[in-house]
Amino acid sequence: MKFIEEIVVDAFLPTFRALLAEDLRDRGFTQSEVAEALGISQSAVSKYAHGEVATNERVATDPRVVDLVSRVGDGLATGDMTPVQALVEAEVLIRQLEEGDLLSDLHEAEMPELASHDGFRSIHDPEGRLRTVEQVRSSVRRGLRMLTNTSGFAGLIPNVGSNLVESLPDADSVDDVAAIPGRIFDVKGQATVPGEPEFGVSGHVAGVLLSARAAGADVNAALNIVYDAGVIEDLEAAGYECIEFDPDAPTDPVREHLTGRDLPETFVVYQSGGYGIEPITYILGPDAPAVADVVRVLF
């Protein structure tokens, strides 16, 4: 009797780790950094590097495995992906391959009796909340990198600070929206990001996003920047619809001004200020990188 988990341990894991170790080394990781990233010893990394660990050719050449190695390697190298997300992504692929797929085939080769049965059925949910949460945080990181790499972005940060936020697909509160704790500030001409994306740390920009969603807008991300007439003119010239709202409105002003509109995938709302209220521009779109990309038209 051989469990499919043994196939994972004996065939998938050593092959996946060997490929990922090679990918990370190609990206400039030291042996100790590879060991830390994979959660294994340096001696194990050395064995992978010298081909002293048996790998499975079918696993190594499967395009889904090759793609996962590339995505995880890139995510770990850039910092966009945490070890938690890397683990979840690998687990999801393992469960997919176990269900009537590559690992199931390898399992049946070891246990021919399984051919007459339905075999293993995956119980791992690829749309699970943990995976989605990590994907949203990763998306915010990518958007942040785009912003901080955009020369001049610091000059668009308002006095209250900027924030880049992205929500879970079914978000209905700020706890379902990832953002930067403490906001992004201009420190001597440099956009300064104080921490990693977290959920539930933005009340203001997350609130604008949730109001837009409540009005029927199909958006998941938002970014606030300074308001001035020139910014709005440039955004309109680039083809973005810009909608003004009254921040002093007694009800939810963003929701009130957006309800019933046929809104594009990415658009802008802004307010030109009020008593004790700093004027602000908000860019809303499908995800954090898409929103961050809009900023580039201002330079």
Report the relative pairing of strands 242-244 and 267-271 from DSSP bridges.
parallel
Per-residue pLDDT reduced to its tens digit, 121-137: 443 455 667 788 889 99
Tell me if residue 120 falls in helix, strand or coil.
Answer: coil
CB 188, CB 151: distance < 8 Å: no
pLDDT at 122: 40
- pLDDT at res. 257: 93
Q: What pLDDT score does 214 carry? A: 97
Which tens digit of pLDDT belongs to each residue from 16-37? 999 999 999 999 999 999 999 9
How far is 148 from 288, CA to CA, in rounded Å? 13
Radius of gyration of the chain (CA): 24
Sole residue written with tokens 């660990």: 53
- CA 127, CA 162: separation in Å to the nearest integer? 30
Closest CA relative to residue 119, chosen from 96, 99, 94 = 99
36-87 residue pLDDT tens: 998 889 999 899 888 899 999 999 999 999 999 999 999 999 999 999 999 9
- Domain segments of the chain as ranges: 4-116, 129-297
Token duo for residue 190: 């440099």
CB 77 within 8 A of CB 29: yes
Q: How far apart are CA 258 and CA 253, in angstroms?
A: 9
Predicted confidence (pLDDT) per residue in 143-181, tens digit: 999 999 999 999 999 999 999 999 999 999 999 999 999
> Which contacts (CB < 8 Å, 24+ apart) does range 126-135 have?
126/92, 126/95, 126/96, 129/168, 130/84, 130/88, 131/85, 131/88, 131/89, 131/92, 132/168, 132/169, 133/168, 133/178, 133/199, 134/81, 134/82, 134/84, 134/85, 134/88, 135/85
User: How confident is the model at residue 175, as a pLDDT?
Assistant: 95
Separation CA 56–CA 17 (nearest Å): 12
- Please report the pLDDT score of residue 276 as a whole number: 80
The 3 state secondary structure assigned to 126-191 is CCCHHHHHHHHHHHHHHHHHHHHCCCCHHHHCCCCCECEEEECCCCCCHHHEEECCCCEEEECCEE
Q: Is the pLDDT of residue 107 over 60?
A: yes
Q: For the chain, what percent of residues have pLDDT higher than 70?
A: 95
What is the reported pLDDT for 121?
Answer: 43
CATH architecture under which domain 129-297 falls: 3-Layer(aba) Sandwich (3.40)
